[in-house]
Structure 1
Amino acid sequence: MTRVRVTAPRSATSGSATAGSVTSGSTALNGGPSAAASREAAEESDAGQLFVRSLISSQLRLSLVVGLGFLLILLAFPLMLGLVPGLAGSTIAGLPFDWVLLGAGIYPVIGLSAWLYVRTAARNEARYRDLAGEK
């Protein structure tokens, strides 16, 4: 793995690697295309545009599925309290059950939803990088 040293942002007028730019391994030093340039070239081709659209749609689908699943679980809590008689009036360790349910039951659901989203989004992006030929 090549070390990257960032000293300053790349200036808009400079096209080559200068002291104030980002250099990464032998590609930038040998005058070859950088990773950003190869990514832009891949995105400009028809196949690259198809890959980007596919990534965007898969990320959108993922966010909708995780968001809707979270909302369904969140809405199930008050429905359960309203449909099960006597549940709202019960206590656990002196605390009302609905408070315990919302306080201790919702945070694991939030954490699980976030973990699922991040894990699947990273997998989608890794698949895109594999298809686009990026390292």
Structure 2
Amino acid sequence: MNPGATPGESPARVRVTAPRDAPPVPGPTLQPGTPEDFYLRSLIRSQLRLSLSVAAGFTVLLLVIAVLIAFWPQIHEIRVGTVPIAWLLLGAGIYPIILAAAALYNRACTRNERRYRDLASRP
């Protein structure tokens, strides 16, 4: 509590900032050509490749569902209760696909990081 604040009064807000003329703090630097640099770059490449492949697979599945609904007119006749199945596919059927893609991505990402840690920890 502020020394001059009265009871029930909210404390004064203080903004903490770095000086404007302070140089940025450099992160850890890796020398090009070191094993750590090679392993880190390969981890980044594998994570990028994984994320692009999951995004591409998800996009393909969405396009297949959209094309199926657009070019199969009988699907509009099929109903679950009073709701057309096309609406259910687009409205609720996408979420299990999203969850499956996220679970697969998380599992593969963890596997990539574990391999990186194993390689990086070797003497």
- Amino acid of the residue matched to residue 101 of structure 1? L
Aligned with 2:78 (options 85, 90, 101): 90
Whose RCO is larger (CA < 8 A, sep 6+)? Answer: 2
Structure 2 partner of 1:132: 120
Aligned with 2:64 (options 68, 72, 76): 76
Give the superposition deviation at 1:104: 2.5
Q: Distance in 2 between matches of 1:106 and 1:48?
A: 40
Q: Distance in 1 between matches of 2:86 and 2:73?
A: 13
Q: Secondary structure at the match of 2:76?
A: coil
Q: Distance in 2 between matches of 1:74 and 1:86?
A: 19
- Structure 1 runs (4+) deviating above 3 angstroms are none
Residue 56, structure 1, aligned to residue 56, structure 2: no
How does the TM-score come out when normalised to structure 1? Answer: 0.64
How does the TM-score come out when normalised to structure 2? Answer: 0.70
Q: Secondary structure at the match of 1:87?
A: helix
More helix as a share of residues:
1
Aligned-pair identity in percent equals 44
**Unmatched 5+ residue regions in structure 1?**
1-39
| 1:90–1:96 CA contact under 8 A, matched in 2 | yes
Residue 99, structure 1, aligned to residue 99, structure 2: no
| 1:82–1:88 CA contact under 8 A, matched in 2 | no
Structure 1 partner of 2:15: none
| 1:88–1:97 CA contact under 8 A, matched in 2 | yes
